[in-house]
A = this chain, B = another copy of it.
């Protein structure tokens, strides 16, 4: 057991180090999120009520896309340079390694989104509590995105055009998170009391994802590395 935790930490530290060597990776995801979210006012014009109405949906869609694009890199480089096949050959349970990688990945790509989201919200004239609800919803929701996306990333390993193929596989699976995530924010604009069940649902998703996604991902990896 302790061994497992140890392995988990080794992987997390390793991936964080790697990311620090290339800080851009972290920033790019963040900026992508910001840019995409900022494109819409350019596309649809900047009418206040309209934007306020769009806000939650746009932010969530942007988050979906950002975390999905980042996912493409979750295993890609490990696969290309052969470190992944080495991981398959270590005496450690693969799903733990996977969990470690996903965790590191979320810390690097998901967390920053949560932090910056309120600023985006301001762009859409959301105010007060709504902003915090949005941050909270993202905090619970984005890990689910990473966990589910990992499966897609593992399946599309090393395929040409993996990036966009992942989105094809994964985006439909993201829908529940999108619906309840943006739903929560939308609800909060009307009555804060209504928000709670949305968050609860997202929480339930997170627990389930934590339980099953790593196993599925591990299986997918074994298939893909062959």
> What residues of chain A have their CB less than 8 Å away from a CB belonging to chain B?
22, 24-25, 28-29, 31-32, 35-36, 39-40, 42-45, 50, 53-54, 56-58, 60-61, 64-66, 69-70, 72-73, 76-77, 159-161, 163-165, 167-168, 171-172, 175, 178-179, 182, 186
How far is the CB of A197 from the nearest CB of chain B, in Å? 18
Known: A35-B171, A56-B44, A168-B32. A163 touches B163 (CB 8 A): yes
How far is the CB of A106 from the nearest CB of chain B, in Å? 16
Residue among A28, A58, A186 having the largest count of chain B Cβ atoms under 10 Å: A28
How far is the CB of A179 from the nearest CB of chain B, in Å? 6
Q: Are A165 and B43 in contact (CB under 8 A)?
A: no
B50, B61, B182: the one within 8 Å of A53 (CB):
B50
Known: A161-B28, A163-B69, A165-B24. A61 touches B45 (CB 8 A): no
B32, B163, B182: the one within 8 Å of A72 (CB):
B163
List 20 A-B residue pairs with CB atoms under 8 Å apart, sorted by A's residue number. Answer: A25-B160, A25-B161, A32-B171, A35-B167, A35-B171, A36-B61, A39-B61, A42-B175, A43-B57, A43-B58, A43-B178, A43-B182, A44-B53, A50-B50, A54-B54, A69-B167, A70-B161, A70-B164, A76-B160, A163-B163
| Cα A54 to Cα B41 with chains together (Å) | 10
Determine the chain B residues whose CB is within 8 A of the CB of A32 once the complex forms.
164, 167-168, 171
How far is the CB of A23 from the nearest CB of chain B, in Å? 11
| Cα A163 to Cα B166 with chains together (Å) | 13
Query: Can you name the residue of chain B whose Cβ is closest to the Cβ of A160?
Result: B77
Known: A24-B161, A77-B160, A186-B45. A40 touches B69 (CB 8 A): no
